[in-house]
Amino acid sequence: MSKVQDAYKEIENTIGSDYVTDKDFMKAAYSRNVDPAFPDRWADMIVRPETAEELSNIVKIANKYKIHMVPRGGGADLVGGSVTQGGILLDLTRMNKIIEVNTDDYYVIVECGVTWGALLSELLPKGYTTGVTGPGSGYSATIGGGLSNSTAGGGSTKYGLVPDICLGVEVVLPNPQGTIVRTGSAANKYAQPFCRYGVAPDFTGLFMGDVGTLGIKTKAFLKLFPDPPFKKNLMFILNKNDYQQVFKLSHEVRKWVNDGLLGMSFVPKLLVQMMASQAKEKPVKRPRLKGPLCNITLEATDERIIDVYVEKVNEIMTKDNIARPFDLREINPTLEIPEKWVYKMKNLFNYFHPLISVAPAKVTCTTCHKIPFSSMDEISRVAPAFDIKHKDEFQPGSLSLWAGVIAVLPNGNFVVVGGFNADNVEDQREDSMKLWHKKLHHQVRYGGAHYWLGESISQSIVEAGAYTPDFMQFFKDIKRTVDPNFLLSPNKFHLHAYDDDYTKYLVREEE
């Protein structure tokens, strides 16, 4: 028997035959995620453990036979992060229990296979929230995926990225012992998981945004916040296509509203015009669409406070005629807009998916990358310049947007969400992948900080030469400490083996 077959037998003995498979049609079903530009990848086997202990045993077996592993949460990944060619694919969605909602001490304990939709449907009706409400794929995306990808999403303007609400994790290390560790205050065996710092170095941070390279998350301890009951949504449109003003307005609103600012984002003028052109019923009066659209959501614990926020935001946005209040019915008169702010998960989780594969079916190469506030104006010129320079490399009919949406994150940074598409045709997919990597290198080199790195972005950061040799060595040393056989997600960050020379992946000719 091959080592894979031997390992299969042992895993079967560990978790039972129902939850491990190596059938071809099962492999086919797990061969891709929301990443149609990628070639399909077939694992050697797929396992669905239910507990950290089962997972630990699988890790031991994988180490015994030196078989690589890739963890997979909801499988809503866009960048090849949760598929594997060969090896063991760890489907973690059976670990989906909400273990404790502690409203006294404001924390929640979940298994990492819980989806954002499931967790929020438990918390929000009780008046609590995790603050960050997960990515645009939150109906199916898991908490573990959010932590592993350092994801932003609903509420991120105020509460930050998913790791910012994390108090600690339980992780199975990919070492031969399959060690199970807990971080944050949960590292103290006498303590509850109520805080992140103090017990030891912040080892939680080691596993945040690691895209499943350093450990396999099984439980997460998350912050719980009272959900402020008063919310209001405001919209403005800038009177000029001026990204310096996007920076300044964001800066001012952040400065004066701060805690009341739940969400703030901009939609570029081009996209607003496209939205207007696609409205089924045209408005009588042609709308004035001269700059980006700004969407602001405010929240407060008292109605009087939110009124003050509204007044302040209006003052900032309309000062010197920089922007004017905007109503989406200006471009689509049939839109029904509720008078009061209503929490709708569909809006939260279903805005992105419909854009990925418009008919006829498309492949989409997108990224979310962060840039500092003050660089907005420059990036608004530098980013589209790539598209102009490489215009001949885009496929016919391809649509490229340097930004589809620009969202404000804590401190002073934006996340720019953009990308391009192509027809879902074999050679277009291959060419698109090449162009996508080039574009990623470009973004890395203008100082963008990506998240949901998966395989393609994590590799692109390495290829662009962003990491210094000392950093790469440090990263590899850390990796070797937790994963001496380099078995967990070996392709990501080009961390194929300890002795592998990463410089061979550098792409210098584009610099």
Partner 1 sequence: MKKITEFEPKEKFKHLAKLGDKVLQCIACGDCREQTDYTAENPKWGVCVARDNTPGFEPYFARGKMQIIRSLWQGKLELSKELAEVIYQCPTCNACADACVYDMDNAAFYEALRAELVDANCGLEAHNPMNKAMVELLNPYERDNKLKKDWVEKLDFKVKDANTETAEVLYFVGCTAALTPEIQSVAINTAKILNKLGVDFSVLGEREVCCGSVGKRTGDLSAFNSVATKNYDLFKKSGVKTIITSCAGCYRTLKADYADYTEELGIEVLHSVELILKIINEKNIQLNHLGVTATYHDPCHTGRNSGISAGVTPLYEEPRILLKKIANLVEMKTIKESTKCCGAGGGIKKGFPELALKIAKARVQEAEETGAEYLVSICPFCNRNLSDAITDLNSEIKMIDLMELLDQALN
Nearer of residues 74 and 163 to partner 1, judged by Cβ: 74
> Considering beta carbons, is residue 360 or 469 the nearer one to partner 1?
360
Asked if 97 touches partner 1 (CB under 8 A), the answer is no
| Residue 117 binds partner 1, judged by CB under 8 A | yes
Q: Is 355 exposed, middle or buried (0-12, 13-18, 19+ CB in 10 A)?
A: middle
* Minimum distance from residue 12 beta carbon to partner 1 (Å): 13
Q: Could you tell me the smallest distance in angstroms from the CB atom of residue 440 to partner 1?
A: 20
Sequence-separated contacts (24+) of 476-482 with Cβ below 8 Å: 478/206, 478/214, 479/213, 479/214, 482/173, 482/174, 482/175, 482/214, 482/215
**Residue of 359, 468, 470, 509 interacting with partner 1 (CB under 8 A):** 359
Distance of CA 85 to the CA centre of its chain: 23
Q: Transcribe 217-273 into DSSP letters.
A: EEEEEEE-EE--SEEEEEEEEESS--HHHHHHHHHHHHHHTGGGEEEEEEE-HHHHH
Angle formed at CA 178 by CA 176 and CA 183, multiple of 5 degrees: 130
**In this complex, which beta carbon is closest to partner 1, that of residue 18 or of residue 320?**
18
| Nearest-approach distance from CB 324 to partner 1, in angstroms | 31
The reply to whether 507 sits near partner 1 by the rule CB under 8 A is: no
Closest residue by Cα to residue 20 from 41, 2, 44, 56: 44
Taking CB under 8 A as the criterion, the residue among 121, 244, 258, 473 binding partner 1 is: 121
CB of 73 to partner 1, least distance (A): 10
Cβ distance to partner 1 smaller for residue 4 or 425 = 425
Radius of gyration in angstroms for the set of CA atoms belonging to the chain, rounded to a whole number: 23
Sites for partner 1 among residues 133-162 (CB under 8 A): 137, 139-141
Near partner 1 by CB under 8 A, which window of 89-97, 297-305, 319-327, 369-377?
Answer: 89-97
375 lies in the binding site for partner 1 (CB under 8 A): no
Strands 45-47 and 88-91: parallel
Query: CB of residue 362 vs partner 1: minimum separation in angstroms?
Result: 9
The reply to whether 36 sits near partner 1 by the rule CB under 8 A is yes
Two structure tokens written together for 472: 């790469």
Q: CB of residue 424 vs partner 1: minimum separation in angstroms?
A: 5
| Beta-sheet strands, E only, within 273-375 | 293-300, 323-325, 362-372
Which of the stretches 228-236, 289-297, 397-405, 425-433 binds partner 1 when contact is defined by CB under 8 A? Answer: 425-433
Whether residue 119 contacts residue 154, with contact meaning beta carbons closer than 8 Å, is answered with: no
Does 128 bind partner 1 (CB under 8 A)? Our answer is: no
CA distance 426 to 443: 26
Total residues binding partner 1 (CB under 8 A): 53
> Which one of the spans 27-35, 366-374, 375-383, 498-506 is the region binding partner 1 (CB under 8 A)?
27-35
CA distance 70 to 79: 14
Q: What is the footprint of partner 1 within residues 405-424 (CB under 8 A)?
A: 424
Q: How far apart are CA 365 and CA 400, in angstroms?
A: 9
Give whichever of 73 and 292 is closer to partner 1, judged by the CB atom: 73
Q: Is residue 457 within the footprint of partner 1 (CB under 8 A)?
A: no
Contact flags string 332-351 toward partner 1, x per CB under 8 A: ----------xxxxx--xx-
340: Cβ contacts below 8 Å, ≥ 6 apart: none
Least Å from the CB of residue 425 to partner 1: 5
Tell me the residue type at 100: E
- Packed helices 243-256 and 303-318: angle between N→C axes, nearest 10 degrees: 150
413-423: strand order across its sheet: 323-325, 230-238, 293-300, 261-267, 400-409, 413-423, 362-372, 449-450
Query: Do residues 137 and 353 touch, judged by C-beta distance below 8 A?
Result: yes
Q: Which of residues 48-87 bind partner 1 (CB under 8 A)?
A: 48, 74-76
Least Å distance, CB 143 to partner 1, is 12
- Beta-carbon contacts of 165 under 8 Å, excluding residues fewer than 6 positions away, are 130, 131, 132, 159, 222, 223
* Pair type for strands 216-223 and 449-450: unpaired
For residue 469, CA distances in Å to 31, 440, 493 come to: 34, 20, 13
Least Cα distance to 478 among 73, 220, 201, 146 occurs for 201
Near partner 1 by CB under 8 A: residue from 99, 200, 274, 361: 361
Choice from 281, 339, 426, 511 touching partner 1 (CB under 8 A): 426
CA 72 – CA 83 distance, rounded (Å)? 7
Return the amino acid letter for 202.
D
Closer residue to partner 1 (CB): 30 or 402:
30
- Closer by beta carbon to partner 1, 351 or else 474: 351
What is the edge-to-edge ordering of all strands in the sheet holding 180-182? 98-102, 107-111, 216-223, 166-172, 180-182
**Of 5, 9, 29, 325, which lies in the binding site for partner 1, with binding defined by CB under 8 A?**
29
Residue 90 or residue 444: which is nearer to partner 1 going by CB?
90
Q: Is 118 in the site for partner 1 (CB under 8 A)?
A: yes
Would you count residue 98 as binding partner 1 (CB under 8 A)? no
21 touching partner 1, by CB under 8 A: yes
Could you say whether residue 231 binds partner 1 (CB under 8 A)?
Answer: no
Q: Is 430 in the site for partner 1 (CB under 8 A)?
A: no
- The Cα–Cα gap between 4 and 89 comes to 13
By CB under 8 A, name the one of 19, 65, 194, 341 that touches partner 1. Answer: 19
Establish if 356 lies at the interface with partner 1 (CB under 8 A). yes
Catalog residues that contact partner 1 under the rule CB under 8 A.
18-19, 21, 23-26, 28-34, 36, 40, 46, 48, 74-76, 91, 93-94, 115, 117-118, 120-121, 124-125, 137, 139-141, 342-346, 349-350, 353-354, 356-357, 359-361, 424-427
